[in-house]
Amino acid sequence: MLAYRHAFHAGNHADVLKHAVLVAVLRHMNAKEKAWRMVDTHAGAGAYALEAAYAQKHAEYRQGIEPLWSLPTLPPMLSDYVEQVRVFNPDGGLGHYPGSPWLARHLMRPQDQLRLYERHPTDHGLLAELFEGDRQVIVEHADGFAGLRAHLPPPSRRGVLLIDPSYEIKTDYAAVTDAVSEALTRFAQCVVMVWYPHLDTRESAQLPQRLKPIADAQASKGWLHARLTVAEPNDRGFGLLGSGLFVINPPHTLHEQLRLMLPVLVRTLGQYAGAHHRLEAAAGL
């Protein structure tokens, strides 16, 4: 499936949740001098213009990053994330949105590495152009699931894996669980972040339930599951209700950071009275 373009959704509520957690995870990785490697299986274009036609078609950022942009007080994790978006907009306005690759590159140190996969030819071209000549970044026009074997584990034995396909085809759900199992088999200490869309479908509801036993059996430091629900199903049962993140081997600080952040996202980004969040963890976390 090569039709999906993240530019239509840049800066929406799902990006807010995913990228706030990514920034927190990489901050934690930077607490130790030893190098880390991040692998992004579905990297997209890396950066997005919010005034472009793609982003303006549905203007999803207006119910995502935009409401947070001017809030005077935010929980620390959310404040750090918004600050990264501000850095990406040096003129002070909210005209552009950074994707996961840019956020990761901005937080990298000279010893760290970034490995990016993107199959869509247009987005791959934009991504390759963004990091042209950067020796710490490798951009691959290939299947990110198939590329895990080449990059995990890194020599430093410190790494982050971000898995966030479009899920436009149902086989993505099985591919995600297979990729997580393979990654943990090769590298049990890897911090694995799995983003998924909260939809009114069986596949969406079952994904975190399928990831829990894999993490329980193979991960060294447990798991966290955070889900944000901002919209209610329409009459046809379609539409993005929110999104979730399943984090395996999470930083020990992440649970408390999410506990403080998620209620703020519900209040700020919720689109109906029943907006809510879920936060659960493996036993002992």
Which residues belong to the active site? 164
d(CA 111, CA 231): 42
The Cα 103–Cα 211 span in angstroms is: 26
Q: Identify whether the C-beta of residue 51 lies closer than 8 Å to the C-beta of residue 11.
A: no
d(CA 277, CA 152): 32
Of 114, 117, 17, the C-alpha closest to 65 is 17
Beta strand segments in the chain, E: 37-40, 47-49, 96-98, 113-117, 137-140, 159-163, 191-198, 223-229, 242-248, 276-281
Cα gap 115→138, rounded to integer Å: 5
